[in-house]
Amino acid sequence: MLELQNISKKWQDFNLDNINLAINEGEFFVILGPSGAGKTLLLELIAGIHYADKGKIIYNGKDITLLPPHKRNCGFVFQDSALFPNKKAWKNIAYGIRLQKRIKYKKVMEKVIEFLKLFKIEHVANRYPSTLSGGEKQRVALARALIINPNILLLDEPLASVDYNTMVQLKGEIKRIHKKFKPITIYVTHNRLEAMSLADRIAVMNKGKIVQVGTPDEIFRNPQSEFVAKFIGFDNIFSGTAKFNKEIGLSEIQIDSMTIYSADKLYGNVKVCIRPEDIILSRQPLKSSMRNVINGTIVKIDDLGTLFEVSINIGTIIKVLITQNALLDLGLSVGSKTYVNFKSAALKTIM
């Protein structure tokens, strides 16, 4: 287990503030947050590139806070791969293991060949980094990080600089390799879809602080703050006044002149949110168990490529995601009257 205990670090005009995390053996742990949140700095503290001002880093009961990088057995993959430009691909891969004592040249080459095959990059072995594609560079960087059999694998936005198809392929390879070697893997990203598809657990980070930790389902279905809700795609956030109605077993939330219903037991001033994909549009009120059925007028339609985002005035603006087929079938356009339908349980309460 890797434990970060009250870790703080001042770096230029930025503060990493009182970070506490416990990451299990073999866990794929994602740190998710916007640019400037402190994600990379936190990885560099774990790797020993920088040292914490306060707190401890504990690995399997051993304090490694002040150990130099080469004694931490961490593999590190940077966003830009950070390969040695004057070394061929195979020499880049071999670099870490050649630093280890009592490993003979023959054994080094056997391991290099093994990892070239593992990442399907035998064809680039004798090429220099400047001749490699973005995906090839990252495969070499991953092989270099893993060949030392690290206890901890640190990945700093490794897919940010590659095209979409390469990103999909590399993401699959990262999952495959993690299952094979099972190191503690800490993966930094600002991409919520990457986090959702890769993580066993996620820590959401903002302004040098961890603001929520949980499984992907806990994070993406039950955000605990307005920041987390906005960052993971809850585009509809409303403030209102709530009271619990015992007769119907639901909370009534007054938002301006509109009343909506929540399955949570709420009182007083509240803030609630709902994902755009949890809302159904219809031309007539749906005959269903949905408690929230609200009439509105479409004020904007944005083509997002695979989906359309429809903005509807229901007394406040609410956004809904629908397919092109649904848009055409309903005959919706700017100015159309429509009903907004959603379950009371789809409404989430945030702090």
15-68 per-position pLDDT tens digit? 999 999 999 999 999 999 999 999 999 999 999 999 999 999 999 999 999 999
The first and second tokens of residue 99, run together, are 């630093």
Q: Are 173 and 309 within one domain? A: no
pLDDT above 80: residue 89: yes
Q: Are 307 and 250 within one domain? A: yes
CATH number (domain holding residue 74): 3.40.50.300
pLDDT above 90: residue 100: no
pTM, two decimal places: 0.90
Q: Are 156 and 290 within one domain? A: no
Q: Whole-angstrom Cα distance, residue 268 to residue 273?
A: 16
Average pLDDT, rounded, for the chain: 92
Q: Whole-angstrom Cα distance, residue 16 to residue 14?
A: 7
Q: Are 196 and 319 within one domain? A: no
Q: Are 133 and 192 within one domain? A: yes
Q: Are 126 and 164 in contact (CB under 8 A)?
A: no
Q: Are 203 and 238 within one domain? A: no
317 contact partners, CB below 8 Å, separation of at least 6: 299, 311
Q: Are 173 and 280 within one domain? A: no
Average of pLDDT values for 69-78?
Answer: 90
Mark out the alpha helices in the chain (DSSP H runs). Answer: 39-47, 89-99, 105-118, 134-146, 164-181, 192-198, 216-221, 226-231, 324-330
Q: Are 207 and 261 within one domain? A: no
The first and second tokens of residue 183, run together, are 């190191």
Spatial CA neighbour of 236 closest among 281, 196, 271, 199? 271
Q: Are 208 and 254 within one domain? A: no
Q: Are 190 and 41 within one domain? A: yes
| Number of domains into which the chain is organized | 2
Residue pLDDT, tens place only, 265-321: 999 999 999 999 999 999 998 888 889 999 999 999 999 998 999 999 998 999 999
Q: Are 9 and 45 within one domain? A: yes
The boundaries of the domain holding residue 261 are 234-350
What pLDDT was estimated at residue 96? 79
